[in-house]
Amino acid sequence: MSRQLYVTVLVALAVSAIVTACGGQPSSTSATLTPAPTAAATSAAQEPTAVLPQATGVATSTTAPATSAAQAPRFTHPTEITNPFYPVSLIGQAISLGTEGGGPFRTEVTLLPGARAITWDGQRTEALMSQYVAYADGKLVEVAYDSYAQADDGSVYYLGEDVTNYEDGKVINHNGSWLAGKDGAPPALIMPAHPQVGQTFNPENFPGVAYETDEILSLTEKTTTPDGPSDKGVLIKEILMDGSIEHKVNVANFGIVESRATDEQVTLVLLNRTDAKPGNVPEPVSAMEVQAEDILDVVPGGNWQQVTADVAAIKGGWQAYRAQAARDKVPQGFQEALTAALDDLEQASAAKDAAGTMQATNDLSAAVIDLSTVYRPATPTDLSWLDVLERQVVLDVAAKDFSAAADSLAKTSTVWARLKPVILAHNGSNVATQFESSLAAQQAALKAGNASALTSGADNGLALVDALESLF
């Protein structure tokens, strides 16, 4: 089954039955992708204009926020966020790679469709929302839905975040969640209209829940963007609520390109703009995905001769494409992931290790999706992510690793949350309902520890992905 791959920049709500992760815990927050929060904790002052995921259990504080009514910003066109150093309207999807705590770390920020209406201090403000997803050591650790608005003077304000934190695929808490207008929290300045050295501000301004103090240290910081080096970075020192210090670097038209801390170094490697036209995935990349799918089809039947031929074809295609990858500025991390997966595939297939070959092939398919993301094709790559992740659930269950299966299913639900509006826009409401039912059934099987039912549910999910693809 061949696939066209693409990166989507949309997100939407996840069904509460899906995101009530293993053990029936309330929803909250890798290589790749967790369920959106459920059970909205919406205050009477908030009236969304788009159906968007929200977290429950937002913490409250008895400490007054550090913004007075006299400092309140004015918002006339709040969703036109064009501040060059925080251009939310232009960032369709941003992927960053690096390390945290000595292990690999990945973040993805995806702009969501529509707007969210937030009422605070008697004012009603439309806000853009983005989905932030973080993976540590390949496991999902956080999903947050962030709200932003631009004030009339060009400053960007943070209006809250719905946070869900995860551990081994299970929701552990919603720490860090807050919303302007709820419990007295004000909008918080996250990027001044005209940054100047020495400026200080609070991008999170709700003491006791979420509070940070930023200071601009330089306007000429040397850094690297996806388009190459820059010496015009805005270096910001950020003091967190616990007293720890981080440094961030923002560059015009890219937003945050670096995050640094004692145990963290994360760099923006890919930015797909909302105004970018769809591109074409190079033939060698598409061919590698087709050959990987063939391996997945023939390994169960023990056709190792065909597997060997497919592995050789993938290796040849990768070697042929590498020069173009350099020209097209494919992130080095993406290239390294594919090389590693191919090495594992060669070793496992040479040993006729069926389980190892299936896992390495699925890892390679995931790496191919990242390569395809660079080209912004018209067919959503999130369809391919669903395919890889549902297959990963099957592989996890076969390996008797229910913890890994929980993580894979959480990632599947997160991808579905942002893909769903695209599916609905393509008249896919019926198959969308079926896919959500499949995810709910898989969660129920996972909670019950029913391996057979979970595998069957994931297989059904794979079949439904084919139906979803037929819409495009």
What is the tens place of the pLDDT at every residue in 375-416?
999 899 999 999 999 999 999 999 999 999 999 999 999 999
Look at residue 72 in the predicted model and tell me its pLDDT.
Answer: 82
- Measured in whole angstroms, the distance separating CA 458 from the mean position of its chain's CA atoms is 21
The span from the CA of 28 to the CA of 169, in Å, is 11
Category of 456 on φ-ψ map: left (φ > 0), alpha (ψ -120 to 50) or beta: alpha
pLDDT 10s digits, 114-170: 899 999 999 999 999 999 999 999 999 999 999 999 999 999 999 999 999 999 999
The span from the CA of 398 to the CA of 46, in Å, is 45
Residue 40 has pLDDT above 80, yes or no: no
Q: What percent of the chain has pLDDT over 70?
A: 85
The span from the CA of 103 to the CA of 412, in Å, is 23
Residue 417 has pLDDT above 90, yes or no: yes
Q: Is 282 helix (H, G, I), strand (E, B) or coil?
A: coil
- Pair 414, 107: CB distance under 8 Å: no
Look at residue 421 in the predicted model and tell me its pLDDT.
Answer: 87
Place of tokens 């605070």: 120
Number of other CB atoms surrounding residue 298 within 10 Å: 17
Look at residue 213 in the predicted model and tell me its pLDDT.
Answer: 97
pLDDT 10s digits, 183-233: 889 999 999 999 999 999 999 999 989 999 999 999 999 999 999 999 999
- Pair 116, 93: CB distance under 8 Å: no
Residue whose C-alpha is closest to residue 270's, from 140, 375, 159: 375
Category of 5 on φ-ψ map: left (φ > 0), alpha (ψ -120 to 50) or beta: beta
Please, which pLDDT band fits residue 18 given cuts at 50, 70 and 90?
very low
- Pair 401, 382: CB distance under 8 Å: no
